[in-house]
Amino acid sequence: MRPIRPGDRGPAVTEIRTVLTGLDLLSKATGPHHDEFDAATERAVRAFQQSRGLSVDGRVGAETWRALDAARWRLGARTLYHAVPVPLTGEDVRSLQERLLEMGYDVGGADAVYGVRTSRAVAQFQREVGLAPDGTCGPHTMGALRRLGRKVVGGRPQWLRESDAIRQSGPTLVGRTVVIDPGHGGTDPGVVVADGPLRWTEADLVHDLANRLEGRLAASGVRVQLTRGPVPETCLPDIDRAQLANSLGADVFISLHADGHANPEAEGVATYHYGTDNGVTSATGERLAGLVQREIVARTGLRDCRTHAKAWELLRLTRMPAVRVEVGYLTSPSDRSRLVDPRFRDKLVEAIVAAVQRMYLPIERDVPTGSIDVSELRAAVAAGTVVD
């Protein structure tokens, strides 16, 4: 075919511009709205050729056309399988390969060709998550990939099973065990702030929160255990708190803290889950952290200091999804004025309960952040119906 080149017009140019717009190489504003191979189109074609390792001439010949055609496929739009003798190629294959690579599967490289190795990697993934290992990426396999999200990394397939096992255990909270860990205590008050005649301590504040959370979760049929009482004699080290949660066979571990900083302007909520600098992360811990963080931000308006991966003993040694929530800065006058208000603490607790519930909802039945009414959950339990 004769290359399509600058100055050409027609439906083929519109198609090229549509694909380039979809790839964000052409601005959405001008995008596919006209059929002229103008200077912007030429620049976009060159950028595309460069990104695909094609010879860069700014014209669309047969090879560039095939590459553009492959680029239209979005992962999930069609079933992928190992076709012979002409293998399937496309951006969707490349996305699938990248995702499998991230998860530690051997696909060779992300070459956008669905060959034997990709098919074998898909089969291995399917086996790990309990699907029929046929090496074909159809709706079920896509669903499993989507549920597990992008951040299962470090070649730890057992975490894939862990995530899926949690969802498959069903949405009910009844009978689950949650260990709540109010930070500090005993000889360690945590962050202490004198406010006129008043003295606020992190240890007291988070114990009150833990109490409220215990009440709410117990009302939903959850077995709850706190790692300490209101005035313990000594401060239990984190390693013992983790071991306590393990020995109780907890399903979820939630550690509660408040932050402090010399700068009174530091404020906001942050949630931590297990992970290391080289990208190893607990998929379920990360998901729970994300839910807790989003629910708290949506329901309280505290500043969003996001979720972070940490290799702290508390998170590393616990064998269940575990998070540590820093519910705001006691040293920030604005965070403090809210934290000392019991109604605000109830809001925090509602957010955490909603997050724990969402952890067990299958992805297709998950609900928007801020939308779970915790009192309805309680009513459903009281009425003897399974929370669903």
Question: For Zn ion, which stretch binds (CB under 5 A), given 71-79, 134-142, 251-259, 301-309?
Answer: 251-259
Question: For Zn ion, which stretch binds (CB under 5 A), given 90-98, 167-175, 253-261, 358-366?
Answer: 253-261
For residues 152 and 103, the answer to whether their CB atoms sit within 8 Å is yes
State in angstroms the smallest separation of the CB of 67 from Zn ion.
54
Q: Given the complex with Zn ion, which of 80 and 203 has the nearer CB atom? A: 203
State in angstroms the smallest separation of the CB of 256 from Zn ion.
9
Question: For Zn ion, which stretch binds (CB under 5 A), given 38-46, 230-238, 256-264, 305-313?
Answer: 256-264
Which residues are paired to 304 by β-bridges? Answer: 269
Closest to 324 in 3D by CA, of 229, 202, 217: 202
> Distance between CA atoms of 388 and 379, rounded to whole angstroms?
12
Q: Given the complex with Zn ion, which of 203 and 349 has the nearer CB atom? A: 203
For residues 163 and 281, the answer to whether their CB atoms sit within 8 Å is no
Number of residues near Zn ion (by CB under 5 A): 3
State in angstroms the smallest separation of the CB of 24 from Zn ion.
43
Q: Given the complex with Zn ion, which of 216 and 257 has the nearer CB atom? A: 257
SS3 342: helix
- Which residues neighbour 344 within 8 Å (Cβ) at sequence distance 6 or greater? 300, 338
Q: Given the complex with Zn ion, which of 115 and 183 has the nearer CB atom? A: 183
- Which residues neighbour 188 within 8 Å (Cβ) at sequence distance 6 or greater? 203, 235
Question: For Zn ion, which stretch binds (CB under 5 A), given 84-92, 179-187, 245-253, 308-316?
Answer: 179-187
Question: For Zn ion, which stretch binds (CB under 5 A), given 27-35, 146-154, 184-192, 216-224?
Answer: 184-192
Question: For Zn ion, which stretch binds (CB under 5 A), given 70-78, 188-196, 233-241, 270-278?
Answer: 188-196
Tokens 């957010």, residue?
Answer: 351
For residues 274 and 281, the answer to whether their CB atoms sit within 8 Å is yes
Dihedrals φ, ψ of 273, to 5°? -135, 170
For residues 190 and 201, the answer to whether their CB atoms sit within 8 Å is yes
- CB closest to Zn ion, residue no: 257
> Distance between CA atoms of 290 and 297, rounded to whole angstroms?
11
Closest to 76 in 3D by CA, of 167, 163, 145: 145
Q: Given the complex with Zn ion, which of 190 and 268 has the nearer CB atom? A: 190
SS3 320: coil
Q: Given the complex with Zn ion, which of 222 and 254 has the nearer CB atom? A: 254
User: If binding is defined by CB under 5 A, does position 183 make contact with Zn ion?
Assistant: yes
DSSP state of 277: T
Question: For Zn ion, which stretch binds (CB under 5 A), given 18-26, 153-161, 237-245, 252-260?
Answer: 252-260
Q: Please select the residue that binds Zn ion; options are 58, 115, 135, 190, rule is CB under 5 A.
A: 190
Beta pairing, strands 192-195 & 198-201:
antiparallel
Hey, which residues between 319 and 358 contact Zn ion (CB under 5 A)?
none
State in angstroms the smallest separation of the CB of 318 from Zn ion.
17
State in angstroms the smallest separation of the CB of 336 from Zn ion.
15
Q: Given the complex with Zn ion, which of 13 and 179 has the nearer CB atom? A: 179
CA dihedral for 158, 160, 166, 170, sign (positive or negative): negative
State in angstroms the smallest separation of the CB of 286 from Zn ion.
21
Q: Given the complex with Zn ion, which of 25 and 213 has the nearer CB atom? A: 213
User: If binding is defined by CB under 5 A, does position 257 make contact with Zn ion?
Assistant: yes
Buried (b) or exposed (e) across 244-277, using 16+ Cβ within 10 A? Answer: bbeebebbbbbbbbbbbeeeeeebbbbbbbbbee
For residues 115 and 97, the answer to whether their CB atoms sit within 8 Å is no
State in angstroms the smallest separation of the CB of 183 from Zn ion.
4
State in angstroms the smallest separation of the CB of 184 from Zn ion.
6
- Which residues neighbour 7 within 8 Å (Cβ) at sequence distance 6 or greater? 37
Residues near Zn ion (CB under 5 A) are: 183, 190, 257
